[in-house]
Copies of this chain bind each other. A is one copy, B any other.
Amino acid sequence: MLSETGTQFFGYYPGTVALVTAEHAGVRNVMAAGWHTALSAQPPMYGVLIGRERATHALVAGSGVFGINFLPAARAREVQGTGVLSLHELPHKDKFARLGLETLPGAPLALADAYLYYRCRVIQTVATGDHDLFVGEVLEVRHDPACYDGQRLFTGEAAVYLGRSTYVTTTQEREIHVPESFS
C-alpha cells in the first residue's frame, strides 16, 4: 500500500543497467547507466541519460556515437566497477583493461561478454535538468544466441540492480499471462 508520501525523488528498482561505451580522439570509456530506454521501434531508436560532468558525456558528444551493452549477472562486479571508477580521476588509465572487459574485433564499442548490444548514432540531444538525453538511432544490434530461445525470449541471467551497490538476477520460475478480454 502506498502509505508514504513525499517530494523526495528516488528511482525505481529493480533495474537493468546499461553499460555505455564511447570513444573519441583516442580516448575510450565505459560507464554504467541506470537511466536508459528504447525510444522508437520503427525507426529503431535508443536513449541514454548521461550527466554533463561525466567523462563519457564528452566522448559521446564529441564522436556522435555510443554503444549500449547489457551484461549477465556473472559480470555484476564489472558492471558496478564501470559505475564507480571515473576516468576523470585517473585519465591515463583504461577502465576496460582495469575491469577485464574485452571488446569485439571490428566493433570497439561492443563488450564481448554482453548478451545484447546496440550501436547508436546520436541524432538529438535533449537537456533534462541535470542530465542530457542522448537520442540514438540504432545502427546495429548484436546478441548472444546462448541467452535467447528460438522465439528470442531472454533465457539468460541478467545483472539486475537494486541500488546501493547491490545486484540480483531474475528467478527461473515464469508466469505466462494469456490475453485478457473485456467480456
Residues of A at under 8 Å CB distance from B? 1-16, 18, 34-45, 47, 49, 68, 70, 76-77, 80-81, 84-85, 89-90, 93, 98-99, 104, 107, 110-118, 124, 126, 128-131, 133, 135, 138-146, 151-154, 158, 160, 162-182
Contacts and interface: CB of A to CB of B under 8 A. Distances in A.
A70 B10 CA distance: 13
A61 to B, nearest CB: 17
B2 A144 contact: yes
B7 A140 contact: yes
Given A154-B163, A163-B154, A7 B141 contact: yes
Nearest to A86: B182
Contacts of A130: 40-43
Given A45-B128, A162-B154, A168-B170, A140 B177 contact: no
